[in-house]
Amino acid sequence: MNFNIALIGGDGIGPEVTAWAVKSVEKAGLAGGHTFKWTELQAGGCAIDQTGEPLPQDVLKKAKACDALLLGAVGGPKWENLPGNLRPERALLGLRAGLGVFANLRPAYLLLELKDACPLKDEVLKAGNSEGKASFDLLIVRELTGGIYFGERGRGINVSGSEDFAYDTEKYSRSEIERVLRVAYDAAAKRRGKLCLVDKANVLESSRFWREITQEMAKEYPNIETSYLYVDNAAMQLIRAPGQFDVIVTSNLFGDILSDEASVISGSIGMLASASIGQKEPGCKYPPGMYEPIHGSAPDIAGKNLANPLAAILSGAMMLRYSFGLETEALKIEQAVSSVLKAGYRTKDIAGRGGSSVKEKITGTKEIGEAVLAAL
């Protein structure tokens, strides 16, 4: 198959890390005869420098015309004092909305090679793990384009004029909930077959609505074990027994908080990938998909061959899996990353975390990237 992929390296370390993602995707696809055409586009700070806008209209148009989008990171101190609507990060919101990617998938798992980076004790890790292993492997599916971040908001003064107030509104339509649930159920079907809805149904009407719709949809997925947790309990369970979770699905606000909590227990920001996906439109070959490491542009280490490219490389694997259904190729990349870590390769951000059993080789971006390619 031939794929046309939009590539936005962005700012800071973005272009450095995506370069290795591109090479890894190409190499993984080679054996299956897959070819990739990369349409390089500029968004974020570099686009502001060239055009005055973080996301020029023609960039969005070109990105939409591609089969998927791979992004590095945007932003940096140079653009920090610009007004909100002209800041580089605005490009991310514009791309998400423009591409219609409503489900954010963030895997969080413990790589045994980096186990010492996890702040949880072994007994905690073993607590919820069905095989009694000191490990976890979960996927958070966060609704991305609705809820309180996009609901009606405002400020006012009460009738007597004695006090001012502010409000935000959590509002979800049935279709918004159904489409993200479907993404989560489909992901659970490809994983260990467990889905947990996280809500606050004991208090919020919008959460009760999520729960009703999930209960209805659960009937369509008899092979998936569906469970429900209140968000306060879920926040606790994530650090008390993360091994109990497979897929967690939740609203925009709850997902924002829980996915950051999950990333902390995984260890390093330089290792975590993410995918944002949408619904396939008639006439399109693939559903819209945007893939990016969760880290930012790390201006402090940009251009110094210090950035860890593994999160970007793993984002490439997610693209192959979720946009194109190339599970074998995605696994190849994930296994290559794992074998490179087993062999002791480490960028500085993940060095000294493997325990005494691993003899570490401290390398730069280029050397660890080359090691992944060699493993592939």
Residues 311-350 that bind ligand NAD (CB under 6 A): 311, 347, 349
Q: How far is the CB of 75 from ligand NAD (least distance, A)?
A: 3
Q: Which is nearer to ligand NAD, 2 or 305 (CB)?
A: 305
The C-alpha atoms of residue 8 and residue 73 are separated, in whole angstroms, by 8
Number of alpha carbons in the 13 Å side-chain half-sphere of residue 304: 11
Closest CB to ligand NAD among residues 292, 329: 292
Block residue for tokens 């932003």: 75
- Restricting to residues 46-85, name those near ligand NAD by CB under 6 A: 73-76
Is residue 301 a contact residue for ligand NAD (CB under 6 A)?
yes
Candidates 275, 320, 339, 342; CA nearest to 24 is: 320
Out of 300, 325, 355, 367, the residue judged to bind ligand NAD by CB under 6 A = 300
Distance CA(280)–CA(262), nearest Å, equals 29
Active-site residue set: 149, 200, 232, 256, 260
Residues 6+ apart with CB under 8 A from 115: 134, 353, 354, 355
In angstroms, what is the minimal distance from the CB of 268 to ligand NAD? 8
Site string for ligand NAD, 11-40 (x = CB under 6 A): --x---x-----------------------
And the tokens for 100?
Answer: 């219609």
Which alpha helices (DSSP H) does 100-204 contain, by range?
Answer: 122-127, 174-190
> Pairing mode, if any, of strands 68-73 and 289-293?
parallel
Establish if 259 lies at the interface with ligand NAD (CB under 6 A). no
| Of the candidate residues 181, 213, 262, 307, the single one contacting ligand NAD (CB under 6 A) | 307
Q: Are 260 and 106 in contact (CB under 8 A)?
A: no
Q: Is 292 in the site for ligand NAD (CB under 6 A)?
A: yes
Q: Which residues contribute to the site for ligand NAD (CB under 6 A)? A: 13, 17, 73-76, 89, 92, 269-270, 292, 295-301, 307-308, 311, 347, 349
